[in-house]
């Protein structure tokens, strides 16, 4: 669990990054381009930071395929993601990266894919894991002085696979995917840190969970993929 940050300087008020495709964020580049350690040192150190949960490659690729199939092609430029924090102060990148490295010193875990959520003009798969809830709550408590109103809200993890379509189109997709949906689990492999650059995201660091075997709650062998 990250150490308390009560003695760290409270950041000045700052605007939240522009909202993306209906779920409050824009989408990150391919997580495989990220690696541990700071990147893009020449970019503005005040640009906000974004924290994501990184999924195992098989699950990431399945969600990417669903996005490719159902997102408007002209808007589907980047990959699916699970956002944990939308806008942390950019000048605290070293402290945030250190806290994420500390938080990642734990076994990997499984995440339940529990159903479909209608976003109004899009559709998302809903996620749930006690380990994720506890991990995010610990980080939120440590970063309390830095949280925006959006990041103080109740966290409802999800993966968006469609957005910016007509509500009737979104409802039809939700109903079709829900009809064949079977709850299942996917593995979480770590935490990602990104810098918001006014649209695109730049990878800053990747912190893999410490694990010597398959993520807890997952099983070896074939499993039912989302429809």
Is the pLDDT confidence value at 13 over 70? no
> Nearest to residue 163, comparing CAs of 129, 130, 131, 118?
118
41 belongs to a structural domain: yes
14 belongs to a structural domain: no
Tens-place pLDDT, residues 42-74: 356 789 999 999 999 999 999 999 989 998 888
Q: What is the pLDDT of residue 32?
A: 41
Q: Which domain holds residue 67?
A: 31-115+130-157+187-208
69 belongs to a structural domain: yes
Q: What is the pLDDT of residue 44?
A: 61
170 belongs to a structural domain: no
The pLDDT mean for the chain works out to 80
143 belongs to a structural domain: yes
Residue whose entry in the numeric block shows the structure tokens 């997102």: 71
Q: How far is CA 149 from CA 53, 106, 155, in A?
A: 20, 28, 12
Tens-place pLDDT, residues 187-212: 999 999 999 887 778 899 999 998 53
The model's confidence at residue 227, banded by pLDDT at 50, 70 and 90, is very low
Split into its structural domains, the chain has a count of 1
193 belongs to a structural domain: yes
Number of residues assigned to the chain: 227
- Domain of 76: which CATH number? 3.90.1140.10
215 belongs to a structural domain: no
Quick count: other Cβ atoms within 10 Å of Cβ 133? Answer: 12
198 belongs to a structural domain: yes
């Amino acid at each position: 669990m990250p150490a308390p940050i009560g003695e760290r300087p409270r950041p000045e008020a700052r605007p939240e990054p522009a909202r993306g495709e209906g779920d409050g964020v824009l989408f990150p580049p391919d997580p495989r381009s990220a690696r541990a350690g700071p990147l893009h040192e020449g970019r503005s150190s005040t640009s906000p930071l974004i924290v994501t949960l990184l999924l195992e490659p098989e699950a990431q690729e399945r969600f990417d395929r669903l996005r490719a199939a159902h997102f408007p092609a002209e808007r589907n430029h980047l990959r699916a993601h699970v956002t944990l924090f939308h806008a942390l102060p950019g000048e605290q990148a070293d402290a945030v990266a250190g806290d994420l490295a500390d938080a990642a010193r734990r076994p990997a875990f499984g995440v339940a894919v529990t159903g479909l959520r209608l976003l109004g003009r899009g559709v998302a798969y809903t996620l749930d894991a006690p380990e994720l809830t506890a991990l995010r709550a610990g980080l939120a408590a440590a970063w309390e002085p830095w949280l925006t109103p959006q990041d103080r809200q109740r966290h409802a993890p999800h993966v968006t696979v469609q957005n910016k379509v007509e509500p009737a189109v979104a409802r039809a997709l939700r109903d079709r995917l829900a009809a064949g949906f079977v709850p299942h689990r996917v593995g979480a492999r770590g935490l990602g840190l990104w810098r918001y650059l006014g649209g695109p995201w730049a990878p800053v660091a990747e912190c893999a969970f410490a694990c010597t075997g398959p993520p807890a709650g997952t099983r070896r062998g074939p499993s039912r993929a989302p429809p």
